[in-house]
Structure 1
Amino acid sequence: MSQPTIALTYDELVNRIVPGPQSLSYFVPLVILPIAFSIPPWIASKQTLCAVALPIITASLVHAWTIMGGIDVISFDMLLHSCHLLLFNDPRRHFRRIVAKTATAEKTRTPELGSRDSKNESTTPQYVEQAYPANWSERLPWVGTLLISMRFVDWKIGSPSHDSKQPDRCPNPPSHLRFILTAFLRTLTGYVVLDLTSAWAQHDPYFKTFGVSVDSPLPQHDLLVSLPPRLIRCTIIALQVWATVGQQFQLPCTLPVALHWAGYLPDAWSPHLWPTFFGSFIAMFTTSSLGAVRNFWGRYWHQTLRHYCSGPGVWLADLVRLPRRSQSRYLLISATTFFFSGIVHIGLVPPNPMFALKSANQLRRLILTFFCLQPVGFAFETAVSAGLRRIGIPKPIYTILNILWFTAWCCFVLPLLGEAGRNLGYWLVWPVPISLWQGITVGKWLTNG
């Protein structure tokens, strides 16, 4: 099947396919934040820094959004980032960077070939907490590392649940070679899954034809005709998201891992020693409660935006003095976290989508609704789990219940993303340049040829 070929200018790309910067004001936060945090607290207080820097950052981004005709993912994330560091926290006074030091005598000793010591690449590190440095040469790397630390690994930030795990390291780190080979294998797996799901989408009218219901009959297929159409189509959507996001995190990390292997980077900068980006998928279901949706977002899916999106909710919960570990605090933080996560993700919608029948605002509402529904699932799990505990359900039954519940929940919420993706034209083109499926079945390897 021939794919549409579209020659795009930059203006058409950022207005019709995916939003992006269209003015210099978009980049102002990248300049203001390093300058702001380079000023020590004995010169400018948190209140002064926030009162000066945050309005400039906000005004510049609002101007950028006005020119763009809407937000995008990166710019709204920059606003959340700025608020988290300037308004909700005081990193210069309260954050501590965890720095490793090793014994120089042991480090310089060359182990004998075949000895037990030769298996150790370095001595056991001793960690120290580094406060905001008074020395300028030490301050620059402290500030630079702070501004790029999305997950705050190797930082103590005043959150007991986070700080108790620092320094956070992979419990059983793979070797350099194993990490690199695994990264390439996962990328290849994601590529194949994306290719196969795209092959299905090309022949399923739901993905390419407006007005076709997610429950409409499937294309004739002897193996799948007995399964619910909604289940099949939601599985396709889930697999595409998994292949696009879940399998691509490690590939960019292969370069610093290789540099660490060659001795050019310290341990703290080598991703094979970091906590994993994604948790165990199986562990989502094997818990002694009904909690697959909570486990998906809290334990399996990546936590890159967790601190920035949860910051407003934590601040609000502290403001109204909600008790720690209370259900009311948990639900408030969950609701605000997913609201802001939804706002981040509506930044995927351009102001004038090229293929859409729905308006940009209608597509944004679909994506936002998907994220805002997640705390509703949390509340349902919490309520049902309380009842099940009184009955005394055995753990194997919980596993079955979690699988069935998670499947049902995905079939309920994923069509919202499916409708948005259909209008954004995600399934009109084959997303991979070379298709193994198409090459094997019809002898045409290039998807855009």
Structure 2
Amino acid sequence: MRLPFYIQLPFLTLQIFLFLDPSPPWNLFGAVAIALICWLIISPSVFVSWNIDTGVGYVDYMLGSTIASYAVHSFYLLSLGRPLKSIKNGDKLKVHEHWWKRILHVAHVMQSPRGVGWNYQVNNVPAAPRQPRRSFILTSSLRAACHAVLFEVARLYVWYNPACSSVTVETRSYVARCADTIAFIGLTYWGLNAGYFAMAAGSVALGLHEPRMWLDLFGSWRDAYTVRRAWGRTWHQTLKWFLAPLGKATSSVLGFKRGTSRSLYAQVYVAFLLSGLVHTGGDIVLSGSTTTAASRPLFSMPFFFSQAVVITFEDGLIRIARRLGVKDSAWTRALGFVWVAVWFGWCVPGFVENMIRAGGGIRKSASRDMGPNLVQAAMIRLFGFDIGEFAESWFGA
């Protein structure tokens, strides 16, 4: 699967604007220009005519969301972030005299969404590993391999499962729908982790970074005993760097005093609205993609907005429980895990179903576009067993 070079146009344009560091109002003009470029690329007619459409709905959705994220990044970095003036690594902010150092500075910011070691490091990043270099390299290599295997198993699952490529997904049982959802969402989770841990091992082995710089990409699932914590501490680690500042800025513009409930909930709703806007880029791409199965326009926004609503409801229940004298304990956390599992077990399968209906699934015929499945190839080579044929008979594909 080869993507055209101009898909990087929004990213490169943003890099240039950040390097030039335009003053107001030119910074806002630059942000608008980048947003228009993003809109042009993800518009259905251009996405298909420029051969950006990969033929794999899941990949097209991710591409659309990534491109849309550059539009939101541009408004944050050009208006609030200002890497050359506000973002620093260390005690002092140093504006580099050499132009190539400025380019590296800007590029580092763009490639470090959690800001580890920088003054914009997001809250609740997992603790730094305290390991010797050799131990870290070995551990990261093993974690990369494990996540790669899980990714390939999930990819095999969705290839041969008709529910992951058709509009008949809603006819599955609740347990089957949850299994489908875990495999489908796991493609993102395991795929990102596999690449991340591989880069961590390689970077430390080459002496480019210390192990303390490679914190886990996602937070611990042990922290996900409320919906708020599941998003804020476990899943949204790579989006908080621009969602949180934009939420605070919006709260300030609305005149809400910092630390008040109005300010906090304004930030929550803005964060999920922006997250929904980013994923809407994937919705728009699918609306004109060759993989489209049925019209489900803008299905991402309701899902993400509902997370803010349920967090508001959840916070209310927690306040009532505290007034009744209920304290944090192993039992309350266990109940919290059940609640989170029930909520996501209900809403996430619906989100996945809408994506598949819109053409965002992975068809068996797309396997050529995504390359050979390593687990399937290994099973054939080592044991002479084609797990794909077994999966076909199991799912009746």
| Global fold match (TM > 0.5) | yes
Counterpart-to-counterpart distance in 2, 1:233 and 1:137: 47
- For residues 104-253 of structure 1, the aligned pairs below 5 Å read 128-133=91-96, 139-157=102-120, 170-197=127-154, 206-213=163-170, 216-217=172-173, 228-253=175-200
Question: 2:222 — aligned with what?
Answer: 282
Give SS of 1:278's match: coil
Choose the corresponding residue for 2:311, options 375, 378, 387. Answer: 378
1:421 aligns with 2:356: yes
Choose the corresponding residue for 1:434, options 353, 374, 378. Answer: 374
Q: 1:358 to 1:310 in 2, by over 3 A?
A: farther
Question: 1:256 — aligned with what?
Answer: 203
> CA contact under 8 A between 2:42 and 2:281: conserved in structure 1?
no
The amino acid of 2:312's aligned partner reads A
Choose the corresponding residue for 2:34, options 47, 57, 61. Answer: 57
- For residues 379-418 of structure 1, the aligned pairs below 5 Å read 379-394=312-327, 395-418=329-352
Q: 1:186 to 1:366 in 2, by over 3 A?
A: farther
Structure of greater Rg: 1
> CA contact under 8 A between 1:421 and 1:427: conserved in structure 2?
no
Question: 1:352 — aligned with what?
Answer: 288
Give SS of 1:156's match: coil
Identity %: 20
Question: 1:34 — aligned with what?
Answer: 16
Counterpart-to-counterpart distance in 2, 1:204 and 1:36: 45
> CA contact under 8 A between 1:38 and 1:143: conserved in structure 2?
no
Unaligned runs of 5+ in 2: 49-60, 392-397
Q: TM-score, normalised by structure 1?
A: 0.68
CA RMSD of aligned residues (A): 3.7
Q: TM-score, normalised by structure 2?
A: 0.76
Question: 2:385 — aligned with what?
Answer: 443
Unaligned runs of 5+ in 1: 1-7, 11-19, 100-127, 219-227, 286-291
Counterpart-to-counterpart distance in 2, 1:86 and 1:176: 37
Cα deviation, residue 180, structure 1: 2.8
Q: 1:270 to 1:341 in 2, by over 3 A?
A: farther
Q: 1:206 to 1:37 in 2, by over 3 A?
A: closer
Question: 2:47 — aligned with what?
Answer: 68
Choose the corresponding residue for 1:98, options 89, 92, 98. Answer: 89
Q: 1:318 to 1:388 in 2, by over 3 A?
A: same
Q: 1:370 to 1:38 in 2, by over 3 A?
A: same
Give SS of 1:88's match: helix
> CA contact under 8 A between 1:33 and 1:53: conserved in structure 2?
no
1:414-439 C-alpha deviation (Å, 9 max, x unpaired) = 12232113632326466761335975
Counterpart-to-counterpart distance in 2, 1:234 and 1:30: 34
Give SS of 2:89's match: strand
Pick the structure with more helix per residue. 2
Give SS of 2:170's match: coil
> CA contact under 8 A between 1:96 and 1:129: conserved in structure 2?
no
> CA contact under 8 A between 1:312 and 1:336: conserved in structure 2?
yes
Cα deviation, residue 319, structure 1: 0.7
Cα deviation, residue 317, structure 1: 0.8
- For residues 300-311 of structure 1, the aligned pairs below 5 Å read 300-311=234-245
Counterpart-to-counterpart distance in 1, 2:128 and 2:5: 44
Question: 2:55 — aligned with what?
Answer: none
Cα deviation, residue 397, structure 1: 1.8
1:47 aligns with 2:24: yes
Counterpart-to-counterpart distance in 2, 1:242 and 1:35: 31
Cα deviation, residue 375, structure 1: 0.9
Q: 1:185 to 1:346 in 2, by over 3 A?
A: farther
Give SS of 2:286's match: coil
Q: 1:193 to 1:138 in 2, by over 3 A?
A: closer
Choose the corresponding residue for 1:79, options 60, 71, 76. Answer: 71
Give SS of 1:379's match: helix
Choose the corresponding residue for 1:315, options 241, 249, 252. Answer: 249
Q: 1:97 to 1:241 in 2, by over 3 A?
A: closer
Give SS of 2:115's match: coil
1:169-225 C-alpha deviation (Å, 9 max, x unpaired) = 9544323333333333223333443455556556765435423425x448xxxxxxx
Give SS of 1:132's match: coil
Structure 1 range deviating more: 52-61 or 335-344:
52-61
Give SS of 2:167's match: coil
> CA contact under 8 A between 1:187 and 1:248: conserved in structure 2?
yes
Q: Which has the higher contact order (CA 8 A, sep 6+)?
A: 2
Counterpart-to-counterpart distance in 2, 1:208 and 1:143: 40
